[in-house]
Structure 1
Amino acid sequence: MDLGKNILTFRKKLRLSQEKLGDEIGVTRQTISNWECNLTTPDAYQLIALANALQVSMDTLVGNSQETILIEKVTNVEEEVMKANSLLKISIYILVFVVILLLFVFISSN
């Protein structure tokens, strides 16, 4: 999820209007709308106030939950393992081919 979608999701979960949320953190309804549409982003102070008003941690608000980070890391590791396995298979095929070729040359020379 992106920041704008998170703001929208958590705002609706608390049944707050854009105007009410804006009033709580000292910005206009239009500013909230711009954030939710990812047209603009809150500054650091606004982000803190937003997380407090939406009753979530900043990590959760910006999409850095532990679960999300762990899933991303596991996915990256799995991709690297798959690449390594593919390279290993190719290396084995090349090695087998070279051994067969050397055997053929050795047998042909005798």
Structure 2
Amino acid sequence: MTFGDKLIELRKSRGLSQEKVAEQLSVTRQTISNWETNQAMPTIDKAKDLSKLFRVSLDELLDNDVSSIMLDRMSNVEKLASMLIKIIKGFGVALIVLLIISILSIIFSYTSFRNANSKTVQPDKEAIVDVGGI
């Protein structure tokens, strides 16, 4: 039995309308409807309020479904963490690419400088004067 089915059963067995339950929990009637149709789950606080209202244990109310509520809540946190990890990985990859480009440009600059300075000046053959038999 789903949480919604259990909620409907408890509400009807007590002769309460969705509006009356919503009023006692300080939520909207639409919220109760969403819970009953399993489109949403109550927060832990509201689940505790429901258990008090219907005088059943939280375990009985949720029909041992606490894990699914916690998983619904955790899935949002996991989505955010996953998104942050992707952003951090993206920055990491960009940083590595920039580092490689920087290293290559330093190597290229050093090689160009070294080649420019290592060229020896060759004397012009025509500038050499034959001084004769010295």
Amino acid at match of 1:63: D
Q: Which of the two has greater helix per residue? A: 1
- TM-score normalized with structure 2 length: 0.47
Q: Post-superposition shift, 1:34?
A: 0.3
From the CA coordinates, give the structure whose radius of gyration is larger: 2
Structure 2 residue aligned with 1:62: 62
Map of 1:31 onto structure 2: 31
**TM value normalised by structure 1:** 0.57
Letter of the aligned partner of 1:7 in structure 2? L
Distance 1:53 1:24 in 2: 8
Q: Which runs of 4+ in 1 moved over 2 A?
A: none
Q: CA deviation at 1:55?
A: 1.6
How well do the aligned residues superpose, as a CA RMSD in angstroms? 0.7
- Aligned pair count? 64
Unaligned runs of 5+ in 2: 65-134
* CA distance in 1 between partners of 2:35 and 2:18 (Å): 10
Q: Which runs of 5+ in 1 are unaligned?
A: 65-110
What amino acid is aligned across from residue 32 of structure 1 in structure 2? I
Task: For residue 49 of structure 1, report the CA deviation from its aligned partner.
Answer: 0.4
User: In the TM superposition, what is the alpha-carbon distance from 1:54 to its structure 2 partner?
Assistant: 1.5
Residue aligning to 1:105: none
